[in-house]
Amino acid sequence: MVAAGWIVGLLLIAVAAGALPAPAFLGAVPLAAALPRSDTASPVSAPVLSLDPASWEMPTGNATSIAATWGDVPPGCALAPQWYRWAIATASPSGFLNRSSGPDVQFESDGASPGASMLRADAAAVLRCGLSQSLVEAVAFSNVTVVASLSIVDLELLPAPLLPSEPAELSGAVLGGTPPYSVWINWTDGSGTRLALAAPGNFSASHAFRAGIYDPAATVTDASGLVARAAVPESVEVSNGTAVAIFPVRTRVDVGDPLAWNATIVGTRTPWLSFSMCDGLIVLPATRGAAATSGNCTFPAPGPATISVEVDGAPPESFPTATAAISVVPDPNVSLELPEAPLEVGVASDLVVAITGGVPPFSLGAAGPALGGPTVIPVLGDGTIAIPLDPDVAGTLPFTLEVTDAAGVESPLWVGTLAVEPALAAAVAFDRTSNASGASLDAIGSVTAGPSPFTWVIVPSEVPANGSAGNGSLAADGSFGWTGFYRTEAAVVVDVIILDAAGAIATANGTLPTVPPLTVAGGFDANTSGPPGSVQLALVLSGGLPPFNISVTASTGASWNFSVDADGPAAWELRVPDAGTISLSAVVRDAIGATGEANGSVLVAMPAAAPAPSPSSPIVPLLGGLLMIGLLAGAALAWRRRRRRAPERPAIDPVAVLRGIIAPADGADRATVELLAEEAGVPLLEARASLDRLVREGTVRSEVDADGTEVLAWELDAHR
């Protein structure tokens, strides 16, 4: 115990006299604990795109609206739609779309043969959940079936004319609609007949009339509830006297095209004369006494017309007449509507053709490189029809259109050109730049081909702290850019979408690091080249955002603080006041709060102590005590003499004392430094003045920490 007390006494005397610097741990300032980081978790499910209705059936000539909607948005998230693109995915569509963009469109049947069309909608939206955002792309489909309109065609009653009680047969055909069908025949004499029809096609029923005039009609109802009705073209006269019936080849004819007709005459009296009239004009010569007659009528102008036959019977009979109503139409003609959006190589579109005049059905002939070569399309009636376009070359492409009607009359040949733009060509480059505040991410896009205007959207997976607009447009070929500033350690996925006026889409994405993750390598080792009782700390810092604060703690309770302005290797010498195996931990924290650690255990050796007297000699404890008393007495005497002879004491170098206190600490509290300097023999005012001068010269760096406390670090040889 005496030996231990003697050593402690010598150390205290040495410190008081200024021969040894104060231990570094006396001025250590611990770093604040790193704040925890919170990252927003990615949503567990992505939103879903759907089309309403998903399937639909409609008659030819009708239209229906299809809407695209987003659903299943995760709770707490917001969805911002960016664009919608519509197309018909069927090779031979039965209709066309009124537009190619927007949240809803209208599908119109084109009047050609019925069929099924698959509608496709591509869409993109930005999903924002907290500070994270992502680009969601989806595709949805809708099936639209166009059926022929429910109708009754070719309704006729034979034979005609009729005699009382003579069997007559009414025949016709049901087209379109949805089978099965129910057909009701009204004979208009107070009776009727019901028929069941399993599929589109012909039907017939027999009936015998009494004398009189009748207008038989048929009504059909399909499985979906649609109803169609038709009546015989002319009233049926059932008479005991003379009667006549007329049958034109068709009820619709082109202007100037001859229309053939036949008439049948029955009666009990002869002779008779029959006269035929084309729209009221008598055609000579008359027919005498024949049971049948026929002829042709040609009409010079479009509009309603009639063909009639009048029989001049023997008195006192009246003059029975049969009349057929005729629709006179102009010759067939074809015109077209150019697509709403520009044509582009590789982008499907439609050429909407309008057919007017003529006698249906029609045959539409189309030829040209943009139309996929020559083709013939059957068309049931006049109106519009869509011809699919899928050009594979750019330029001004010629094409021709021509319609032939049922009477063989051809329309004028339509000769035109289609301007096809080159395919969309775009490129995107990504870049990252580090700066004192974090990282700057850049996306630079360029468009060199395709129909303008162009729309671009940029979606980073994390919302930047600051940045430029994430969307815009280009009126013509050119470039665009986006910049986002980040003060985080993360990998940001940047999605870029470019759309042109024809609906083509180009996409690109890049994964860019913001501030690289902080990594800490290295650790602790015994300082073999330094004084005993010291430990060498060598670290290699990479990534993170400088400056870096390093807080070192030992298992003995000692602590040290350092500051580093840049990443790379750095080393410090730590004076450890205890011997033995000591566990040490270095925690590195960068400017945005990211942390890294280095840990280790070091065997610390202290300076060897003087040999202790042998315990077997009883005089050793006594001599030790006497020696301690002598030393203390000598020290007291020396102190009293020094006070009497103060001018003879060697001057204390305040710079050396301050360096011995500040250099090991690298972040010591100034008030503590001044107190230790005063204890080491430097007057307080002199210590303060020396510190102010060293700070001005740059030898000592002065900073204010987060608590408002001034801390000091020795700039020269600070890392040795």
What's the CATH architecture for 333-421?
Sandwich (2.60)
304-342 pLDDT, tens digit per residue, is: 999 998 888 655 556 788 888 999 999 999 988 777 778
Residue 65 near residue 104, CB atoms below 8 Å: yes
Considering only CA atoms, which of 423, 245, 409 is closest in space to residue 323? Answer: 245
Question: Measured between alpha carbons, how far is 657 from 640 in angstroms, rounded to an integer?
Answer: 24
Where in the chain are the domains?
1-30+650-720, 48-146, 151-329, 333-421, 425-513, 516-612, 619-648
- The predicted model gives 245-252 an average pLDDT of 88
CA distances from 699 to 620, 712, 715, 716 (A): 51, 10, 5, 6
pLDDT digits (tens, 9 = 90+) for 19-31: 333 333 222 222 2
Cis before 47 (ω within 30): no
Determine the Cα–Cα distance for residues 261 and 233; give it in Å rounded to an integer.
Answer: 14
Report the mean per-residue pLDDT for the chain: 81
Q: What is the pLDDT of residue 275?
A: 86
**What does the alpha-carbon distance between residue 553 and residue 534 come to, in Å, rounded to a whole number?**
14
Please report, rounded to a whole number, the percentage of residues in the chain having pLDDT higher than 90: 37
Tell me how far apart the alpha carbons of residues 233 and 325 are, in angstroms, rounded to a whole number: 8
Same CATH fold, 516-612 and 425-513?
yes
Confidence grade of residue 269 (pLDDT, cut at 50, 70, 90): low
Per DSSP, the residues of 231-253 read E-SSPEEE-SS-EEEEEES-SEE
> Whose CA is closest to 422, among 397, 393, 446, 447?
393
Tokens for 478, please give them: 């050119």
Fold type of domain 516-612:
Immunoglobulin-like (2.60.40)
pLDDT of the residue at 712: 87
At residue 44, the pLDDT reads 52
Task: Tell me whether strands 55-59 and 63-71 are parallel, antiparallel or unpaired.
Answer: unpaired
User: Which architecture does CATH list for 48-146?
Assistant: Sandwich (2.60)
DSSP symbol at 121: E
Token reading at 380 = 């049931």
Structure tokens at 30: 């611990």
Separation of alpha carbons 490 and 461, rounded Å: 10
- Tell me what the mean pLDDT of segment 674-687 comes to: 84
Rounded to whole angstroms, how far apart are CA atoms 225 and 430? Answer: 60
Q: Report domain 151-329's class.
A: mainly beta
Per the CB < 8 A criterion, the answer to whether 5 and 11 are in contact is no
Coil, strand or helix at 422: coil
Kindly tell me the burial class for residue 716, based on how many C-beta atoms sit within 10 Å of its own C-beta (0-12, 13-18, 19 or more): exposed
CATH code of 1-30+650-720, in short, is: 1.10.10
Q: Answer with the residue of higher pLDDT: 66 or 612.
A: 66
Angle, in degrees to the nearest 10, between helices 619-644 and 2-17: 20
How confident is residue 421, by pLDDT bands cut at 50, 70 and 90? very high
Instruction: For Cα atoms 388, 374, 500, give the angle at the middle one, nearest 5 degrees.
Output: 30
Residue that the structure tokens 């250590």 belong to? 28
Q: State how far the Cα of 287 lies from the Cα of 70, in Å rounded to an integer.
A: 75
Phi first, then psi: give them for residue 125, nearest 5 degrees: -145, 160
Confidence of residue 180 (pLDDT cuts 50, 70, 90): very high
Q: Which residue has the tokens 């009409």?
A: 299
Q: Which amino acid is at 405?
A: D
For residue 73, the surrounding DSSP H or E stretch is: none
CATH superfamily for 425-513 is Uncharacterised protein PF12988, DUF3872 (2.60.40.2410)
Which amino acid, residue 208?
Answer: A
Asked if residue 94 lies in contact with residue 115, where contact means CB atoms within 8 angstroms, the answer is yes
Q: Residue 270 above 80 pLDDT?
A: no
pTM: 0.60
